[in-house]
Structure 1
Amino acid sequence: MGDIIKKTRIEELDIIKCIAILMVVFGHTLCPVHLKVLFYWVHMPLFFLLSGITAPDINKYSTRGGYFGFIKKRIKTLYVPFIEYALPFVLFHNALFALGIDPNHFSSKEYVFQIIHTLLMTNGPSEVHLGAFWFLKVLFLAEIIYATIAYISHNQKVTNGICIIFGLIALIANKGIFPHVLQGNVIMPLRGLFYYTIAQVIFKDIRWKKIWYISIPIVLWWIVESFTAPYTEGNIQILSICSLNSIYQIVFTCGLFMILFLVSGYLKVFKTSSWMKWMGRNTIPLYLLHQIMFTFISFIIMKLGYDMDGATIVKNRFITCIPWWAYGILVIPCCYLVQAIISRGFNTIKMITKL
């Protein structure tokens, strides 16, 4: 992994992205609580780590053109997908309500406010199906913060030091004491910024990487211990409450990354790894659409006459008539199908506007 940044495409990272996105999908099913705790602890930090590893060198931000070029690129790769995926669900909200999928009806005023919220990359108070979209906004803000500090300081060590200090403070602080607007626009981006930066310090510098091999036994111990501990659904909420658990989470996430990187090096030689690499290069549809697809599938199965509590559909508590793992597998092709429909629709709109 010493030349990790010199390669143009790192297949191991694509495989890790695939594993991380599967953790996200299966973590939102009724999987065993031990797996849910594991998935929730590492899946989002892993994505920030992966983004930091593949981030541009600090010299890219040193000039005015490079800095604004980076922002323009991130608008294209993060903001535009957010709008393309979120806006259709907002615009068709009342149609989903008529089908019985959405719990409330939008007035004209609520439509306007929700569209404004969407354009500002916020979920808004009424759109229940866009919960997963927070990650794109947080990653967008985290990368802009890092690029801005780098552009001002022109110094890699200073930039990393500032980002790590403020990110660590945000991790240790209990985000529940902050207003919601600060949680989503300051605390969460700073937490993501920590992992984004620590990846550049640890995994881009060979001297630090050896230290993190020490964390591998900690990861293995935690996995074994977690299956014997009396975890309950309530324990999952501990992960979002900051304390020294955050320090342990950092060590655990970095150690797990090392394990996954080593394992993916062996997996990539098998033919079956081709679909994992493809999914790793196409994580956005799965990430943004899996929750709404769970809702649609739950709705359809309920309409087919299976017993389930319809009131809990939009709360991510799903049916039990099929296994949780089968439910997760079922939703994957649905996400890519909807992604193809959305892409075709926006391409058609672009063609029409050019006429």
Structure 2
Amino acid sequence: MKKRLDWLDAGKGLGMLLVMLGHADIPIFLKTYIYTFHMPLFFFLSGYLFKMEKFSNLKVFFIKRTKSLIFPYLCFSFLAYLWFLVVYHYGEVDYNHDLFTPLIGTFIDIRKSIWTVHSGALWFVACLFCTELLFYLVTKFGRTNKRISFFLILLSVIGCIYNKMHGQPLPWGFDIALISVGFYGLGFFYKVYQDKLDRYLHFNTFIFFLIINVITGYVNYVFTGDRVDFYNSSLGNIFLFYVAAISGIGAFMTGIKHIKRSKALQYVGKNSLIYLALHQKIIFFLISVVMQKYILDYSNLVNIPVVKGILYTLIAAFISVPAVYIINHYMPFMLGKIGREKALNAHVNAS
């Protein structure tokens, strides 16, 4: 059995809670802060786990990533589609197009369109596949760290130019993959130079990165009017976006390396794919129905956006546990695993 990295599982867990909180109804200033770094962070953590020796050639890469990323993406997308049909039947979704469109859209996966009205945050999984494919090709042809770095910068520049000139989502998030591959590469290089870099991860570093992240993140929002949001192809000022994202990752990594290990965070991190797939369109919807029917009219406290957002996140994390158990024990194929033991012991973010 491979040894797991507790800090990485905890990091993925905390990162997933931030993703869930960002999808809840929270004040714009808090959402703006979370979005400055939370998606670049997940690409960074995925890059940390990349091992070139696992893929002897492109065919092996496609076989392994089809099993660990594409197949789970299709399984959860189909589940999301079935749920979409249910809520549509009861008039709980505003949709006036052909019902087969989202099903076909699962294979096209164009963000922010009628093709993916059902799938929510699953765009990340498809985009991660494209990101890993780009990084695999870069490492295969780059060979040296300098060349790899050059190609990563080049792809990032191309991605940013496309974002500013067109900004239209491409199938499987390929437009975002051109940008996210840079953060994926940062995670890969962090692992390469980890022993040297970790000596700088202390409290003063955390404060420094946090201040830079907050300042540049909000300056970007105030002066451009755009909140960073990969899903909506929104970056704002490119320079400020990168400074905020990298400093936010730096602050997060410094903090997660020094906080006490949390079994709860590690649990969410180990099962991050399931939480990602279920929370936005299914779990949050169920919580909203219960809240509106039984709670909101009787509690002014719950009507406070920050409190409501945190409650949604914590409740979703808790009530998802049975689904996590069922999928891991009885439907491991949804995670690209062929056996119960493998499903329980492997990295469910398919990295």
- TM normalised by structure 1 equals 0.75
Structure 2 residue 169 is matched with structure 1 residue 165: no
Question: Displacement, 1:192?
Answer: 1.1
Partner in structure 1 of residue 279 of structure 2: 290
Contact kept? 2:123, 2:173, Cα under 8 Å: no
* Residue from 179, 187, 196 that aligns with 2:184: 196
Partner in structure 2 of residue 328 of structure 1: 313
Letter in 2 for 1:337: P
What pairs up with 1:22-41 in 2 under 5 angstroms? Answer: 22-41=17-36
How many pairs align? 319
Structure 1, unmatched stretches of 5+, are 1-6, 308-317, 350-355
State the identity as a percent. 21
User: What is the CA deviation profile of residues 228-258 of structure 1, one whole-angstrom value per residue up to 9, with x for unaligned ones?
Assistant: 99x88x9562562242112312431342143
Partner in structure 2 of residue 251 of structure 1: 246
Partner in structure 2 of residue 131 of structure 1: 120
What pairs up with 1:1-355 in 2 under 5 angstroms? Answer: 8-56=3-51, 58-61=52-55, 63-64=56-57, 67-104=58-95, 107=98, 110-111=99-100, 113-122=101-110, 125=114, 127-171=116-160, 173=161, 175=163, 177-178=165-166, 180-182=168-170, 185-206=173-194, 209=197, 216-222=206-212, 237=227, 240-264=235-259, 267-268=260-261, 273-292=262-281, 293-304=283-294, 306=296, 323-339=308-324
User: What is the CA deviation profile of residues 150-199 of structure 1, one whole-angstrom value per residue up to 9, with x for unaligned ones?
Assistant: 3344444423321233124424x372532524386432001110001122
Q: CA 1:170/1:306 → structure 2, altered by over 3 Å: closer, same or farther? A: same
Structure 2, unmatched stretches of 5+, are 230-234, 335-351
Contact kept? 1:11, 1:277, Cα under 8 Å: yes
Contact kept? 2:36, 2:228, Cα under 8 Å: no
Give the Cα–Cα distance (whole angstroms) in 1 for the partners of residues 314 and 205 of structure 2. Answer: 31
Q: CA 1:241/1:131 → structure 2, altered by over 3 Å: closer, same or farther? A: farther
Q: CA 1:200/1:345 → structure 2, altered by over 3 Å: closer, same or farther? A: closer
Give the Cα–Cα distance (whole angstroms) in 1 for the partners of residues 48 and 332 of structure 2. Answer: 32
Q: CA 1:211/1:38 → structure 2, altered by over 3 Å: closer, same or farther? A: farther
Question: Displacement, 1:283?
Answer: 0.6
Q: CA 1:59/1:71 → structure 2, altered by over 3 Å: closer, same or farther? A: same
Q: CA 1:347/1:45 → structure 2, altered by over 3 Å: closer, same or farther? A: closer
Letter in 1 for 2:46: S
Question: Displacement, 1:344?
Answer: 7.6
Q: CA 1:178/1:206 → structure 2, altered by over 3 Å: closer, same or farther? A: same
Q: CA 1:149/1:130 → structure 2, altered by over 3 Å: closer, same or farther? A: same
Q: CA 1:238/1:206 → structure 2, altered by over 3 Å: closer, same or farther? A: closer
Give the Cα–Cα distance (whole angstroms) in 2 for the partners of residues 319 and 174 of structure 1. Answer: 40
RMSD: 3.7
Question: Displacement, 1:106?
Answer: 5.5
User: Which of structures 1 and 2 has the bigger CA Rg?
Assistant: 1
User: What is the CA deviation profile of residues 261-281 of structure 1, one whole-angstrom value per residue up to 9, with x for unaligned ones?
Assistant: 4324xx12xxxx112211111
Contact kept? 1:94, 1:106, Cα under 8 Å: no
Q: CA 1:89/1:228 → structure 2, altered by over 3 Å: closer, same or farther? A: closer
